[in-house]
Amino acid sequence: MATAATAGAMILAVASPAQAAPTERARWDMADPTVLVDTPTDSVNNTGTTFHMALTDGFYDFNGVDSIAGAPTKSNLNPGINPIKLEVRLNARAAPVNGQSFDILRKGTSRTATGYYKIELRGTSTGMNAACIFKDKNKVAGTAVTPVPIQNWLTVTCTRTATTVTLAVNGVTKRTITKTVGSITNTERVFIGGKGDQTDAFAGLMDYASITIG
């Protein structure tokens, strides 16, 4: 016979909704310089466009001036309050100038009222940092930063959960901060390799970028 405590636990278990399994909402494998092809794992295709893109050794080659790739705004790329993971494999030709940055993957900007997210590379006095930024509709931001080498292939992974922001490089966690970042939803395009206005332009090679939610 179930005790009152056991019965209560059973009721809570039934009442709590199961969390949706993580779904890769977009994966852009960068092999065709004329179009940003998405291989969707859900029902929404996030294929986009490229501008002034070259291909070197089978990878997108961003010139650091006006090369950029982008995808249209789609609601399936808005995490709301759900966990989200951003991942990019890249090789920077050089570090940004000290105090400046390269935008690697972003949806929205710091001025977007309903929140935004991005990966960027930052120039420092001693080299280069990778940074993950998630900012919610209430202007609460979670940022994780770690030094990374220049002219090396790097897989940078940024993950936001209900209470943390984590940055991993080549599969190894480098920085985790405790931060509760709320809902992120916006109607902005995704930009890869720059801000979208020919600023913060990335110089280097890129293999793929992906967004996973859930």
- How many other CB atoms sit within 10 Å of the CB of residue 75? 10
C-beta of residue 88 within 8 angstroms of C-beta of residue 169:
no
Q: Are 141 and 157 in contact (CB under 8 A)?
A: no
Q: What is the CA radius of gyration of the chain?
A: 19
**Is the residue at 6 inside a domain?**
no
Does residue 114 fall inside a structural domain?
Answer: yes
pLDDT at 20: 66
The per-residue pLDDT for 19 is 57
Quick one: pLDDT at residue 3? 45
Asked whether residue 104 is domain-assigned, the answer is yes
pLDDT, position 43: 85
Query: 5 in a domain, yes or no?
Result: no
Q: What is the pLDDT of residue 198?
A: 87
CATH number (domain holding residue 190)? 2.60.120.200
Answer whether residue 79 is part of any domain: yes
Q: For residue 17, is it within any domain?
A: no
Nearest Cα to Cα of residue 48 among 189, 202, 212, 149: 189
Does the residue 16 lie in any domain? Answer: no
In contact, 123 and 130? CB cutoff 8 Å: no
Distance from C-alpha of 53 to C-alpha of 115, rounded to nearest angstrom: 29
- pTM value is 0.90
The total domain count for the chain is 1
Q: Tens of pLDDT along the chain (214 residues)?
A: 444 443 443 333 333 344 568 999 999 999 999 999 999 788 899 999 999 999 999 999 999 999 999 999 999 999 999 999 999 999 999 999 999 999 999 999 999 999 999 999 999 999 999 999 999 999 999 999 999 999 999 999 999 999 999 999 999 999 999 999 999 999 999 999 999 998 999 999 999 999 999 9
Range of the domain at 69: 24-213
